[in-house]
Structure 1
Amino acid sequence: MSPARVSRGHNPLRQAADRRLPRIAGPCSMVMFGVTGDLARKKLLPAIYDLFNRGLLPPGFSLVGFARRDWADQDFGRIVYDAAKEGARTPFDEDVWASLAEGLRFVPGAFDDDAAFDELADVVRTLDQERGTGGNHAFYLSIPPGSFQTVLQQLERSGLSQPRPGTWRRVVIEKPFGHDLKSARELNSIVESVFPPDAVFRIDHYLGKETVQNLLALRFANQMFEPIWNANYVDHVQITMAEDIGISGRAGYYDGIGAARDVIQNHLLQLLALTAMEQPNSFEASALRTEKEKILAAVRLPHDLGKSTARGQYAAGWQGSEKVRGYLQEDGVSSSSTTETYAALKLEVATRRWAGVPFYLRTGKRLGKRVTEIAVVFKRAPHLPFGDTAARQLGQNAVVIRVQPDEGVTMRFGSKVPGSAPLTVRDVTMDFGYGNAFTEASPEAYERLILDVLLGDPPLFPRHEEVELSWQILDPIERYWASHGRPSPYEAGTWGPSTADAMMRRDGREWRMP
């Protein structure tokens, strides 16, 4: 049974211009480094199965795993089978699986093993002949950044990075893109010495989320929002990514990196750029990137980083009904670690549209709930004819874009309380949820991003200029924090350290409670 049998009438990955036409990748394969990791098992392998099941990958699509394991092709097949069955979002179908499994291959070896990469090159050539992959191959580096250079050099040495005329080779790189500006530039230099810039796809999975992209539709497809999306009407913007989990056994990665490098440098600054950017001339990749880069280049740090930033580290506490330990008690974390698990900062965007409007960014682990949102908070009405008593319960209007979970948009505005005498006005909300408004399920972020890689469609992928501009924003803050003691403790299950609340109070504002 062909994977294309899946109903295309409910396919969320269609061309916006013509929903009758599916975005189907042409002949190709993907070589995945890091297939034994959590990301591959939980996200990448299920996404590939779902794409195949939706009929969006070609019948001859092939997946090659590379790892330091003594596996045969069938052993790798079992790993992919288990991951797909556990994590797939589409119904698991044994016939579809059998078709996908025909294209699975595995090459054992270490990253510095010349013979293993020579064997990989032979496997890729064989796939072209036997599976019709057409010389088109993507290399997914789901590996630690320290291994990037070795793998890239091996791809170049073995000839795997060089396409024949009329074919393509692409490389996919997971964050982090360096740990500061200097390392990011070094990494970009290494990557682009092997692959041309238009063949490099830097994955930020947040940009694959449906709601993030709908932010552009909200702004630019609706006349009611764009005229007030500026400093004349907006008081401030809050961008939040809160997690209710700890480091989940990832001390080896997280300790020494911290919340700001892990989340603010990439996810939250990208959300800031999309929120603040001017309307692009088109939604082509170059036009979108140009407008985002203008905003990142216009970001300004406050003069007093001590008063306009905050960092914290979670201590023991209660997460719901569960007693959880503090960061310093987590396995693999040094008792003297100064890594922050919470970061908040105030930024300004020096453009005519946003002059004087502060953007507050915050992220943290072991917070009150899991939520990612962009809140555009508007100025108060210049005059209220109701009197102070009538409007005592009235706050500020806001448009809140919920990125996850429960993707949607909420608008907060003032309304008369029914039957109130004398007249009383208080806040009410109007809520739009994507799950309620559309019968089609939103595609998982990695489904969209992997398909875009195979299609060679780059709008959702930041190029190296964006990465470097983001590090230019964050590096001075990291240097300041490194010379100013330890992060402030906060109890697990709360909304962060008191220093973050104090930062807002100095401006006469407060954090939203999502």
Structure 2
Amino acid sequence: MTSQTSVKTLLILGASGDLTGRLLLPGLARLVARGHAPGLVLVGAGSDPWTPEQWLERIEESFADENSQAEAYGRRELKRIRESTSYHQLDVTGEGQLAGLLAQLEGPVAVYFALPPRISQLACEALASDRVPAGTRLVMEKPFGSSEESARHLNETLAALVPEDHIHRVDHFLGKATVLNILGLRFANNFLEPVWNREHIEKVEIIFDEDLALEGRARYYDGAGALRDMIQSHLLQIMALMAIEPPASVGERDLRDAVATVLRASSIKAPYARNTRRARYTAGSIDGRKVPDYAKETGVDASRGTETLAEVQVEIDNWRWQGVPFILRSGKALGNKRKEAVVTFRPPPHLPKGFTGVDAPNQLRIGFGPDTLAFDVDVNGPGNVLSLDRATLKAELSASDLLPYGEVLEGILTGDPLLSVRADTAEDCWRIVDPVLKAWARGSVPLQEYPAGTSGPGDWLA
């Protein structure tokens, strides 16, 4: 049963890192300013010898936008956070150091590991279960481990420290509004669910193409790549939501059980040279901005062969989806920014003779950030009523008033695990991609190239 006791202290490990300044603190600022975190105390910790002034400067920068727009109550809350915060230099992997800090903080405490996976693992191993205060929540950033084996080992380490419902494996990509938008679309419309299967759907594509390049994140990204960074940790979760059986409720147990069932049935099958592709960007330009060759970026080890664009075809071996390819693609430094799921329906079995015009399959597109809906249908065109033309029905879907990391933090602070990845699911995501990673490491799939600012290698579909 999930505990609903609110967190009193948020401890961010890796407080001097990029993730904290760029995403975590701005997300927290919106959460606090909107009144979702009353009385919360923020504590930062890191290996850098920051002074209190340096920590406050980071908070001021991260809170600036929200502070300028907030109402009086929000500004007071943001001020309270700034006045009560503190920063501690410590080696989280050192014996007793993290436990010693936890003992000083008002609980319950949520410990946010804004750290590389390997350091998070070592930090948890350095903790003794008898020195973790009751009610402590452990928050792990993606990627959760680096393989199925390492994810299982990390799960075992965490389970020895706190109960499963106090472990949050966060996925900021899937905000609560996005999850509910997908579920509402699928299960609240009786015309849609009867055709949501292999009889009527030809393929499902889930695409996250970014126009951003490396942006100084070589230390993390060059050891991860597009398959680990996005497909393993984010796009498989979206795929599962698109493919689940109707749950009894949108409660976390029913929903996460349904997600786990889909992922257990999922795999990427050999030959990997046919069902997967990978590529890396070379020098180019995006919107007039010059982008250097990835292999020559500072901090990149070109010999690793890290991909910046990956595409895999996942098969779901169950009654509903047998034979329907789920194509998951993500890449950096691409010319067209594209974040959407595209459902392509099978063409009608027969078009009455006499009609002319568009004969392309109908498509349903769900856009992410902002969440949108577009449905392509064929209708009789103006003038010649026998000529079919393509029309698109569009709608904006519900949006949260919080930033993505604000939604994640709200779930952590209130003990709601809906947006948290469950232990078995985290391991299954790695099980799905591990064979591909091994095949790529053997060179079974060529590493292609594409100029930054294009749609990918020439032989890839745009």
TM-score, normalised with respect to structure 2: 0.92
SS in 1 for 2:368: strand
Q: CA deviation at 1:118?
A: 5.9
SS in 2 for 1:394: coil
> Is residue 427 from structure 1 mapped to residue 390 from structure 2 by the alignment?
yes
1:340-394 CA distance string (max 9 Å, x none): 1111111221111112211111111111222211111101111111447x13x33
> Is residue 64 from structure 1 mapped to residue 68 from structure 2 by the alignment?
no
Partner in structure 2 of residue 374 of structure 1: 341
- Residue correspondence of structure 1 range 382-461 to structure 2 within 5 A: 382-387=349-354, 390-391=356-357, 393-404=358-369, 406-420=370-384, 423-434=386-397, 442-461=401-420
Q: What residue identity is the alignment partner of 2:120?
A: F
Q: CA deviation at 1:336?
A: 3.3
d(CA) in 2 for partners of 1:34, 1:336: 28
Contact 1:311 1:500 in 2 (8 A): no
Partner in structure 2 of residue 240 of structure 1: 207
Partner in structure 2 of residue 297 of structure 1: 264
d(CA) in 1 for partners of 2:456, 2:7: 49
Partner in structure 2 of residue 328 of structure 1: 295
Partner in structure 1 of residue 170 of structure 2: 203
Q: What residue identity is the alignment partner of 2:378?
A: G
Contact 1:242 1:372 in 2 (8 A): yes
d(CA) in 2 for partners of 1:280, 1:123: 43
Contact 2:6 2:415 in 1 (8 A): no
Contact 1:206 1:212 in 2 (8 A): no
Return closer, same or farther for 1:117/1:468 CA change in 2, 3 Å cut-off: closer
SS in 2 for 1:194: coil
Return closer, same or farther for 1:426/1:74 CA change in 2, 3 Å cut-off: same
Q: What residue identity is the alignment partner of 2:428?
A: L
Q: CA deviation at 1:320?
A: 2.4
d(CA) in 2 for partners of 1:418, 1:380: 23
Return closer, same or farther for 1:39/1:57 CA change in 2, 3 Å cut-off: same
Return closer, same or farther for 1:177/1:382 CA change in 2, 3 Å cut-off: same
> Is residue 32 from structure 1 mapped to residue 22 from structure 2 by the alignment?
no
> Is residue 109 from structure 1 mapped to residue 90 from structure 2 by the alignment?
yes
Return closer, same or farther for 1:432/1:196 CA change in 2, 3 Å cut-off: same
Q: What residue identity is the alignment partner of 1:64?
A: V
SS in 2 for 1:76: helix
d(CA) in 2 for partners of 1:43, 1:274: 25
- Which segment is superposed worse, 102-111 or 364-373? 102-111
Contact 1:212 1:403 in 2 (8 A): no
Contact 1:234 1:377 in 2 (8 A): yes
Partner in structure 2 of residue 257 of structure 1: 224
d(CA) in 1 for partners of 2:162, 2:69: 34
1:278-336 CA distance string (max 9 Å, x none): 01122221211111111111113334221121111111223122332221121222343
d(CA) in 2 for partners of 1:333, 1:204: 26
Return closer, same or farther for 1:316/1:75 CA change in 2, 3 Å cut-off: closer
In structure 2, list runs of 5 or more residues that go unmatched: none
Residue 489 of structure 1 is aligned with which of 449, 452, 461? 449
- Residue correspondence of structure 1 range 279-294 to structure 2 within 5 A: 279-294=246-261
CA RMSD of aligned residues (A): 2.3
1:75-119 CA distance string (max 9 Å, x none): 433321221114679537643332222431222222244575465
1:480-508 CA distance string (max 9 Å, x none): 2222264011122222224533xxxxxxx
1:226-279 CA distance string (max 9 Å, x none): 111111111111110101111111112111321111111111100110000001
Return closer, same or farther for 1:344/1:387 CA change in 2, 3 Å cut-off: farther
- Which segment is superposed worse, 197-206 or 94-103? 94-103
Return closer, same or farther for 1:25/1:88 CA change in 2, 3 Å cut-off: farther
- Residue correspondence of structure 1 range 107-256 to structure 2 within 5 A: 107-113=88-94, 116-117=97-98, 120-124=101-105, 128=106, 135-156=107-128, 159=131, 161-163=132-134, 168-208=135-175, 210-256=177-223
d(CA) in 2 for partners of 1:113, 1:230: 52
Structure having greater relative contact order (Cα 8 Å, sep ≥ 6): 2
d(CA) in 1 for partners of 2:5, 2:41: 12
1:452-478 CA distance string (max 9 Å, x none): 111111111111111111111111111
d(CA) in 1 for partners of 2:59, 2:191: 47
- Which segment is superposed worse, 321-330 or 467-476? 321-330
d(CA) in 1 for partners of 2:99, 2:233: 35
Return closer, same or farther for 1:306/1:499 CA change in 2, 3 Å cut-off: farther
Return closer, same or farther for 1:250/1:65 CA change in 2, 3 Å cut-off: same
Q: CA deviation at 1:446?
A: 1.1
d(CA) in 2 for partners of 1:450, 1:99: 18
d(CA) in 2 for partners of 1:445, 1:196: 25
SS in 2 for 1:340: coil
Return closer, same or farther for 1:136/1:441 CA change in 2, 3 Å cut-off: closer
Return closer, same or farther for 1:116/1:468 CA change in 2, 3 Å cut-off: closer
d(CA) in 1 for partners of 2:338, 2:44: 34
SS in 2 for 1:171: strand
Contact 1:25 1:56 in 2 (8 A): no
d(CA) in 1 for partners of 2:162, 2:432: 27
Return closer, same or farther for 1:35/1:197 CA change in 2, 3 Å cut-off: same
Contact 2:9 2:108 in 1 (8 A): yes
Q: What residue identity is the alignment partner of 1:41?
A: G
Return closer, same or farther for 1:197/1:267 CA change in 2, 3 Å cut-off: same
Return closer, same or farther for 1:319/1:456 CA change in 2, 3 Å cut-off: same
Contact 1:313 1:340 in 2 (8 A): yes
Return closer, same or farther for 1:356/1:121 CA change in 2, 3 Å cut-off: closer
Partner in structure 2 of residue 3 of structure 1: none
Residue 82 of structure 1 is aligned with which of 52, 61, 78? 61
Contact 1:138 1:454 in 2 (8 A): yes
1:135-164 CA distance string (max 9 Å, x none): 3111111011121233224443782x231x
